[in-house]
Structure 1
């Protein structure tokens, strides 16, 4: 290694022919790795990669031990890889032999550990206790908003005042003759956040109103999937009951929703109010009934109390967004190790975002518990990729400008790091959107890579905690499930403390091992699951909810 106290570069896998810069390395920096001595041919920014050997056009580039690209032009030894000199490439995949042997981590410290959750009649346990108010079709969005305005503040669920006082200051400056330049340079006085009015229902975490733009006018496949997704939310362990508004004539019929609920919970017993506007007549009658019935449901929901539950009642959704070149080195491996711990304990984890599994299909299919499960995964990946190609935007187009700027040059590089969130355990089940998790262990869920669509889907599958890694920063949250945001680097953690909950940059800086950071994270997760810590997305009311239209979304 370079003769410095701090590690400045890393080879992730012994088969890799590129190294990752852990800090900015100027052109001319001498590099010693194993038996190779080289001098950097380019400036290499932190998080980016440089070659161990000279590469000719067409030569393969490997990271994480897999093919992630091919050189599109000559790259000298020690040259930085960029969008100009590398093209996306990934190995093919086929049905192989089962590779389900794995090393179970020591979980003795967590064997008797519990969290304080809300037990449900189907055996699941919630980490929160919400009431849902949802439309079956976009035509009811306005009525949903009317109910929201009527109920939240009166019942004590409204957020504290936001920036109204700051707007008052701007108006005052305008009225007192301040110039535009003076206004732009003004130091607005932030108003301390106050407490919202006292909650009427102390054991209810909130009422969540979920607007969307679906339910009619699209394909029947999309409206049926919407009913399945909404059924996933209604039967979710973090939900005590729901009020559903239906117009009556839309594709997403109440009967389809009820069938989807029964699929997920044959003995469903939560309070559920379905109100159809075309049957009830006037809008005022619909809203009066919705108010009364929701209030009655909240009385029942308020009877729920937290009780101790074993950690195998956790269902962890594994997500990433705004990824960077450190994602696959710090935060994602932490999630992978935590996944293995939870699987060993008998819990469930959900790895989604199928466009970000491009290039690791062979490994994941081989890890499936049986051939039918492996075949289902490969079929979903093949079909999804073909539809993306048909629409002129294959998986190769998945990396965003921010991903590329921070070192994720090809989709295969991004995917190889993203897959680390799934740890090393066997794949217990493969689910197609919007299926529900029914088996403990590692579940693969077909979703797009889009942050909010995927998080919405993962929660719909039953995840009662979502762990979300980010290298660039994203405020993504969810209405009913706590979303814990993990930074891949300390600079981000310090720069955006209002949205980041947990720092994995300590691994890059050599202050912690992956195992140490994982144990710290698991302790944090238990506190979140018990309601003792509210993640930043919950504090901000970041209630992102976007159902997936099954057309191509990367």
Structure 2
């Protein structure tokens, strides 16, 4: 942030970067409000909603509009000084990018507060450390989804993993109202009896945090590339540090073959030694044979996995996924910069961070490619960005189409504007590696991972790459999580934090109201991360059982 940040907050608006020719409204502003900034005084010519932008200079048609110091769009028609920037007067534009010089100098943060700190995690034979300990049940093809669900019904409650929270009492109340002849209006206005939240049933295996049953709609019938990539994704989950072992169900005739999965596992861990049960239905015959064999081998695997206990590990064993969803106009000035500061701390401590969502890096390619540690890494990043966008445009929808209606409504007018704020999650450290989906993190430092901007697909991919905790910023409130990696939600604004306390863990709106600096907020987030890595605290997404798992079909998804 530039030196006008504190001054701007006092005046209800903010210039993010000295080169910006628009200002951000930090609260609702009205037509006629006087704006005094950098030696000039003018009146707003329109109302400007909180999180939205207004012109700091008059714009002619096709004039460039800058935010975060980068091109984020052009004026589609003249814009008056003090006029709100909207989709009616601005369109997406971003700068081209070329291979430039390496810019690897960066200011490392003071990490003395966290130096020497540890977390209690699950140590794996490959040297990685998990923040949780799960058993997985996954199909190689969608034909096995039903069998996965049958295993869930058989195992979850009996072993003590079924969530206590349900809405059965609410349904009973609705049935009672209906039977007593209440009208639909009376039913809609009724106060339903809530189900009390209680502790989960005692676990048979106390060192195993849960059995995660994942289903999907892939493995056959699509492209061979998607089926092979699915095997890589599943291999990423099987070899994940938060996973103790897995049961894999295969039909037998599908594109996603067992041999492909085994090859992908070897790529990620050549000495793989976790308990792994792979069962093929067409070999075993009846459903009964398949289910009984799956139950026996899963149970024996759980007995073995339960022997692993938490032990101290340095913070360098953290691999943090950086994610955003339901972004708003405050994302790039509160929660995302806080994650950027935290990212730099993790890198300075010898850990790894993963920044993904390539459609939301549009417009900042030059900066990120210049930060790549060598030319080959920079070229790979630029190639992936160009190829992805070209495929999207070939299908009639380039990166420019990424912002959702919610993004636009809350101040993110163009993809470049959204991207410039989203990239702040990556901090300022050099880019040590660029990964294509679903490759695994093998280097410490900042990793760029090619994924869609779709937050669930991207989070699914980040975890497959090895992130053992995901930090997820949201301005509008996004109820999502992941089956094996704890997802910590961070609100960009206080209003959303107060409105959705059941899904959001940390409020970064304190940065907007001035009660906390970016550094202070980042330190508070990292303290929370350590408590989650220790198993002392469960994020809201874990408490709610938000186990979203969506593999990316390598066709276009923004």
Q: What is the TM-score with the length of structure 2 in the denominator?
A: 0.98
- Partners of 1:298 and 1:222 lie apart in 2 by 31
2:480 corresponds in structure 1 to: 476
| Residue pair 2:9, 2:514 contacting (<8 A) in 1 also | no
Please list every run of 5 or more consecutive structure 2 residues that lacks an aligned counterpart in the other structure: none
Q: Which runs of structure 2 are paired with 1:170-185 in the superposition (5 Å)?
A: 170-185=174-189
Which SS does the other structure have where 2:332 is aligned?
coil
Moved over 4 A (4+): 1-5
1:129 corresponds in structure 2 to: 133
2:114 corresponds in structure 1 to: 110
- Residue 251 of structure 1 is aligned with which of 228, 231, 255? 255
Give the C-alpha shift of residue 466 in structure 1.
0.1
- Residue 527 of structure 2 is aligned with which of 512, 519, 523? 523
Give the C-alpha shift of residue 84 in structure 1.
0.3
Which SS does the other structure have where 1:312 is aligned?
helix
- Partners of 2:434 and 2:96 lie apart in 1 by 19
More off after superposition, 75-84 vs 152-161? 152-161
Are residues 1:285 and 2:294 paired? no
Are residues 1:303 and 2:301 paired? no
Q: Cα–Cα, structure 1 residues 86 and 208, in superposed 2: closer, same or farther, change >3 Å?
A: same
Deviations 1:478-502 (A, max 9, x none): 0000000000000000000010000
| Residue pair 2:9, 2:513 contacting (<8 A) in 1 also | no
1:456 corresponds in structure 2 to: 460
2:400 corresponds in structure 1 to: 396
1:229 corresponds in structure 2 to: 233
Deviations 1:208-229 (A, max 9, x none): 0010000001111000000000
Which SS does the other structure have where 2:199 is aligned?
coil
2:362 corresponds in structure 1 to: 358
Give the C-alpha shift of residue 6 in structure 1.
3.6
Are residues 1:37 and 2:37 paired? no
2:440 corresponds in structure 1 to: 436
- Partners of 2:10 and 2:479 lie apart in 1 by 31
2:210 corresponds in structure 1 to: 206
2:89 corresponds in structure 1 to: 85
| Residue pair 2:9, 2:512 contacting (<8 A) in 1 also | no
Q: Cα–Cα, structure 1 residues 255 and 298, in superposed 2: closer, same or farther, change >3 Å?
A: same
- Partners of 2:502 and 2:234 lie apart in 1 by 30
Deviations 1:291-345 (A, max 9, x none): 0000000001110100111000000000000000000000000000000000000
Q: Cα–Cα, structure 1 residues 52 and 5, in superposed 2: closer, same or farther, change >3 Å?
A: closer
- Partners of 1:103 and 1:4 lie apart in 2 by 25
Are residues 1:96 and 2:96 paired? no
1:120 corresponds in structure 2 to: 124
Which SS does the other structure have where 1:328 is aligned?
helix
2:53 corresponds in structure 1 to: 49
Are residues 1:156 and 2:156 paired? no
Q: Cα–Cα, structure 1 residues 142 and 32, in superposed 2: closer, same or farther, change >3 Å?
A: same
RMSD of aligned residue pairs (Cα, Å): 1.1
1:319 corresponds in structure 2 to: 323
Are residues 1:11 and 2:24 paired? no
1:60 corresponds in structure 2 to: 64
- Partners of 2:182 and 2:405 lie apart in 1 by 40
Give the C-alpha shift of residue 7 in structure 1.
4.0
